Chain A
């Protein structure tokens, strides 16, 4: 590959996220689940050893998945395969890059490996997606080289409240930056602890410079439609699918809900007879707030 290709690598990585827009990325733990997800219309799958609800239940340290397991999933589907590494664990990220993962999620769902530094994602050729609760976190991750952002939400709970909170917070802050005078942007960059250029981009364009998905707690077609109407460009569904009574049907319904998120009549049809949703835990009932990891 020539120099031009290397220079445009980050652009190509942002563009892959653009191709995922309007889609649903599903957590899977086996090749069989990956096939079910693909058939149901997932635009990508996230390969991980345990879904967040089980990580939450099991406790202990949770780490990057076994590469053999990830390769099994890569072999089972034709859609992009993503995988998670721990916050700050650049060696895990190097391993994921070596097995040619399509996207790395530097994720608060796993136990953080570093409580100060995130991975310097500019040192990698593969793209990274990172979680964020507000504009500052999102722009810090982008400055470190993330080419896609998702709300953190609260994974493994089946409770959408935190994803909603994070999306609204981000929208509010973007609107605020957009309405500022140009001479106020310098102070804003200082306040958000992010580079000035990124604040300027948000001011001029009224959006993040990368694609922004919703994640953490989405369990029903209505949850997915809610997040899309709040401005998400697509949705991650983790525990919500394979912790439910009829994963195949629920997965397909969530995919269609994301495409036609404003059509309440269709959403009503999609929501019918989906079987048991994942049980879920309310945010007041959980001891471990994953969204607090990695600021």
Chain B
């Protein structure tokens, strides 16, 4: 299993550490040339979505990644990564990859003083620790998007076929169950399985 981690900015190393501990091979995607090898799954990490979105375009990564996601490559997107995937960003004209039919609200809990920690149930996985850091949440879900977790009545985790989008940061929580679930998705996809929820 070879997982590409978008490494243009943000907490990409933390994802790599968790994935490696689970036995997956990881490599960093910083420019187009990095996309030449085998790719069984993609991680869009936390960071600043404005920075990552801009660098995706300027480093020639936008189109190839968009095509791979559209053709079924499993993706794990956390926080800023979720914003990159969202079809619509609340209150903004622009969007980034736009492959996940949801509307997300950026900085939905306010500034850093609004960042928080909690534990909540995630469908297919169980109760897990959730670190929300200047986090977004999902305001609206469309066509066949499955809601996997809600906190205080807000949607914070969704799955749509090959795409897993989270408001929070499993990569800093010390709990590996979300990454294990994602690697399971990658394995299924590699074996020609379908992408609907397991």
Contacts and interface: CB of A to CB of B under 8 A. Distances in A.
Interface of A: 1, 4-5, 8, 11-13, 15-16, 18-23, 38-39, 41-44, 74, 78-80, 97, 100-103, 125-127, 252, 255-256, 258-260, 263, 266
B130 to A, nearest CB: 11
Interface string B1-12: 000000111111
Contacts of A19: 10-11, 46-48, 79-80, 133-134
B115 interface: yes
Contacts of B116: 1, 5, 12
Contacts of B107: 78
A38 B13 contact: no
B193 interface: no
Interface stretch (B52-60, B95-103, B157-165, B175-183): B52-60
Given A5-B116, A78-B50, A21 B13 contact: yes
B172 A22 contact: no
B8 A5 contact: no
Interface in B66-92: 79-80
Contact of A43 (B30, B48, B79): B48
Nearest to A14: B172
B38 interface: no
Contacts of B133: 12, 15-16, 19
Contacts of A12: 112, 115-117, 131, 133
B112 A15 contact: no
Given A13-B112, A16-B112, A80-B112, A259 B30 contact: yes
Contacts of A38: 50
A22 B10 contact: yes
Contact of B54 (A11, A41, A100, A266): A41
Nearest to B112: A102
Contacts of B172: 15, 18
A5 B7 CA distance: 29
A79 B50 contact: yes
Contacts of A78: 50, 106-107
B6 to A, nearest CB: 10
A126 B114 CA distance: 10
B14 interface: yes
Contact of B31 (A1, A127, A263): A263
Contacts of B54: 39, 41
Question: Looking at chain B, what size class is its interface with the partner chain?
Answer: 35 or more
A269 to B, nearest CB: 12
B110 interface: yes
3 residue pairs, one from A and one from B, having the closest CB atoms: A8-B117, A102-B112, A22-B9
A258 B48 CA distance: 14
Contacts of B169: 15
> Counting chain A CB atoms within 10 Å of each CB, which of B8, B31, B117 scores highest?
B117
Contact of B9 (A4, A15, A103, A259): A259
B48 A79 contact: yes
A11 B138 CA distance: 24
B31 A125 contact: no
A23 B51 contact: yes
B36 interface: no
Contacts of A260: 30-31, 59
A126 B115 CA distance: 10
A21 B117 contact: no
A42 B79 CA distance: 18
Contacts of B113: 97, 100, 125-126
Contacts of B7: 22, 259
B118 interface: yes
Contacts of A4: 117-118
A206 B30 CA distance: 25
Contacts of A259: 7-9, 30, 55, 59
Given A4-B117, A23-B51, A44-B48, 7 more contacts: A1-B116, A19-B10, A19-B80, A23-B10, A256-B55, A259-B7, A259-B30
A72 to B, nearest CB: 15
B14 to A, nearest CB: 7
Nearest to B31: A260
Interface in B116-157: 116-118, 131, 133-134
Contacts of A100: 110-113
Nearest to B54: A41
